[in-house]
Structure 1
Amino acid sequence: MSVQYKVTERINPTDLTLPKKFYARINNGDDVSFDELTELISKVSNLNYGTVVGAIGTLIEVIEMQLTHGRKVRLSNLGTFFLTLRSSGTDTQEEFRRGDIKGARIRFRPGPRLQRLIPKLQYEKVTVFDSTQTTLPEG
């Protein structure tokens, strides 16, 4: 199956003075809900629905705990979760204060199996035909 994309006109975020250009953009489908995901896992494995819900719920709690302790969480072929910080810069290390930290982000770096997906992708252009962003394949 092909990844569907559309072409949209956008500004260059690194230089707002440049003229707009047309860029490819993923044509995202529906979200997969937690319930749907756990049902699918249950169907393709020998685990019942309740076991899958419990395991994923526990995984989320453990990831939260480990990130809070400044640890990276490596999940084999899935990938790695880690925290990054945003802060104001200071001229010297001694001048830096906790208040200079502006926030944190949870980041995710895909693992080898997910990375191998990228070169295998095929693309199919779709055309947006109304204001509700409903699309039809082009061709």
Structure 2
Amino acid sequence: MAVKFVVREKGNPSKPTEPKKWYATAKSSGEISFKDLSNEIAEGSTTVSDTDVLAVLNDLTKLLSRHLEAGEIVRFGDFGSFQVSVKSTGAETEKKFHAGQIIKSKINFRPGNDLRDMLLTLKYTKTY
């Protein structure tokens, strides 16, 4: 199986006078739902049902949110880790900085070794 990509023309925002260039952008080939994923996990087991797996994944999602909100890094073993990061405007001094200057937050995912290794062996197919 290969990752599909399309090619798009883009300019460099920091150098608007330079000619535009063409860049690859990954194209999704579909999606899998939480329920379908739980069915696949259950198919690989003789002791748990898809309902059991779905319940565990739902609880995992709730706990991930709770621990990220508490400022913790959540490590999923070989799968990878999740951590919240923030973006803010600057202040002249540390004392003048306040939480209202935080303008954006996001969740960073750092893949574990197996996922990073998978990226090294990907095949690509150009699509239109």
TM-score of the aligned structures, taking structure 2 as reference length: 0.90
Once residues 16 and 45 of structure 1 are traced to their aligned partners in structure 2, the CA distance between those partners, rounded to angstroms, is: 55
Corresponding residue SS for 1:90: coil
- Is the alpha carbon distance of 1:22 and 1:59 closer, same or farther for their aligned partners in structure 2, counting shifts above 3 Å? same
> Secondary structure at the residue paired with 1:91?
coil
Q: Quote the offset at 1:99 in angstroms.
A: 1.3
The aligned runs of 1:1-139 (5 Å cut-off) are: 1-46=1-46, 47-126=48-127, 128=128
Runs (5+) with no aligned partner, structure 1: 129-139
Residue identity (%)? 31
Q: Distance in 2 between matches of 1:45 and 1:125?
A: 36
The count of aligned residue pairs is 127
- RMSD over aligned CA atoms reads 1.5
Contact 2:4–2:29 (Cα < 8 Å) also in 1: no
In the alignment, the residues of structure 1 paired with residue 84 and residue 16 of structure 2 have an alpha-carbon distance, to the nearest angstrom, of: 30
C-alpha displacement at 1:92, in angstroms? Answer: 1.0
Question: Deviation string for 1:16-71 (max 9, x for gaps)?
Answer: 44322111111211111111111111112332111101100110111111111100
TM-superposed CA distance for 1:94, in Å, is: 0.9
1:4 and 1:102 mapped to 2: Cα distance?
34
Q: Structure 1 residues 103, 27: closer, same or farther in 2, change over 3 A? A: closer
Gaps of 5+ in 2: none
Partner SS, residue 87 of structure 2: strand
- After TM superposition, the score normalised by the length of structure 1 is 0.83
